Structure 1
Amino acid sequence: MPRLPEVVRLQIASKHTTLILEVYIISICKSGGIKLCGVLAAAAIIAAHSAKLHSSDTKKYGVVTLIDCRSILQPPLSRLHYGFYHSAILNIHRVKGSENVWDLAMTCYMDFADSKKCNKHFPDMADLNFLMSKAIDNPSLTASSSLLTVFEDPVLDDSLQMQRKIGAEDYIGCASVHGVGPSLAIFDTIRDGRLDCTCVYPAPLHSRDQITELVQRMSRVLIDGVTLI
């Protein structure tokens, strides 16, 4: 059966978004580096693990972090320069189920950052583009994946006034290719102070009810992580 991309949204109120951002900004000051992508990856892993029948068993989870390479090209390109200039780093994490979201977020991000420091992403950009084009041409040959994809940096969107001016009630931003992709790809945006994530998944590999429950678990993990500190 052919796969089609479907979308579920994860939205966090501005007051909780502020707390989440403050926590990881404080972490930056203390530890030298953690970004929102690490927090989202950790929340998704914990949410997925808690939904398993034997959640006390150790499981492996793969996280692919996409990196916008425009700024590190020679000469560097603006983020407004159209085209696909992303590369990716894959990290595998072992989870027992007892991890704290912030400790796991630190692990997720630092593993990614260490790989990036070794320039593991840059030589793979051409290969990634080639493999993506082949996967687009042959979607039926793309293997099912249990990976999670996040972006290194969120999109900052302060266009509420423009949105109202043109009469748009709402909109989302994401990209997907039929038959290509992980179990869940998170397109994260800070929209007028609120965390707004477009979560894309392949159907019917996953059902809407399944992903909706996962996203709701992620939301609880994120909110509990900042309100129970």
Structure 2
Amino acid sequence: MIASWASKSLPDYQREKYAVVTLVDCRPLLDPVLPSNHAGFYHSAILNTHDVGGETLWELANKNYTAFVNAMKNNKHFTDMSDLNYLMCKAIENPGLTPSSSLRTALISVFEDPVFDDSTEMHEEIGLEDYVGCASAHGVGPSIAIFDTIRNGKLDCICVYPSPLHSREQMQGLVDDMKRILVEGCNIENQHIEP
């Protein structure tokens, strides 16, 4: 969100509203509980909007996290399901209501829980050097989807975006800004921790 806001070169006092969709795996919340490998799509979504402008990475991260935790405590992923479905249908029927008639309903979508993948040995056995895992929904949805995986102890992120709404150059610039903001934010945080 900070990278998107910064790309507009706005003054610090001018804030922009951004929506974030967090996909929640509902299998462990059902009765009976479904195992994580149960086939099917059992995700719901929590939509939160945030005013962005001038705050630090960690201030925004804390605001984001607090809003998400409060939404989960209030079962928003279940209670808002019909509202979200209604809004998605209205966006499909009336694309002109979305920014640039793009059918984009949020800036970004992320998953609640990271995926852990420690299958290097198996991949080496079959000769697999690299792969990408993500899902795509055509039609209405967010501008950017981030699929994060902890692969063999390292963070591996995939950024999926609709084309031609966004160009490869535009997205590369945004991802470069995101990396810079994360590195700078972590360096500042580490300076506060050191004695």
Shared fold, TM over 0.5: yes
Unaligned 5+ segments in structure 1 are 1-44
- Equivalent of residue 167 in structure 1, options 127, 130, 148: 127
Structure 2 distance, partners of 1:70, 1:194, is 26
Percent sequence identity over aligned pairs: 54
- Give matches, 1:1-229, under 5 Å: 45-56=1-12, 57-96=14-53, 98-125=54-81, 143-228=103-188, 229=190
Instruction: State the one-letter code of the partner of 1:76.
Output: V
For the residue of structure 2 that corresponds to 1:183, the secondary structure is: strand
Is residue 106–residue 141 contact of structure 2 (8 Å, CA) maintained in 1?
A: no
Is residue 58–residue 95 contact of structure 1 (8 Å, CA) maintained in 2?
A: yes
Aligned to 1:3: none
146 and 128 in structure 1: CA distance in 2 versus 1, 3 angstrom threshold: closer
Is residue 179–residue 202 contact of structure 1 (8 Å, CA) maintained in 2?
A: no
Structure 1 distance, partners of 2:84, 2:70, is 20
Structure 2 distance, partners of 1:110, 1:190, is 23
Larger mean CA deviation between 210-219 and 117-126 belongs to 117-126
Structure 2 distance, partners of 1:95, 1:154, is 25
Aligned to 1:36: none
For the residue of structure 1 that corresponds to 2:110, the secondary structure is: strand
Instruction: State the one-letter code of the partner of 2:71.
Output: S
Structure 1 distance, partners of 2:26, 2:79, is 11
Q: Which deviations, in whole Å up to 9, do the C-alpha atoms of 1:129-182 show, x marking residues without a partner?
A: 7987x69xx799572334211111110111111111111110011111222321
Is residue 86–residue 125 contact of structure 1 (8 Å, CA) maintained in 2?
A: no
- How far residue 124 of structure 1 moved from its aligned partner, in angstroms, is 4.3
Instruction: State the one-letter code of the partner of 1:184.
Output: I
Report the TM-score when normalising by structure 2.
Answer: 0.84
- How far residue 126 of structure 1 moved from its aligned partner, in angstroms, is 6.6
Instruction: State the one-letter code of the partner of 1:108.
Output: N
Unaligned 5+ segments in structure 2 are 96-101, 191-195
83 and 139 in structure 1: CA distance in 2 versus 1, 3 angstrom threshold: farther
The structure with higher relative contact order (CA 8 Å, sep 6+) is 1
- How far residue 47 of structure 1 moved from its aligned partner, in angstroms, is 1.1
- How far residue 78 of structure 1 moved from its aligned partner, in angstroms, is 0.7
Computing the radius of gyration from Cα coordinates, the structure with the larger value is 2
Structure 1 distance, partners of 2:93, 2:161, is 15
Structure 2 distance, partners of 1:194, 1:181, is 28
Report the TM-score when normalising by structure 1.
Answer: 0.72
Structure 1 distance, partners of 2:83, 2:38, is 21
Instruction: State the one-letter code of the partner of 1:151.
Output: F
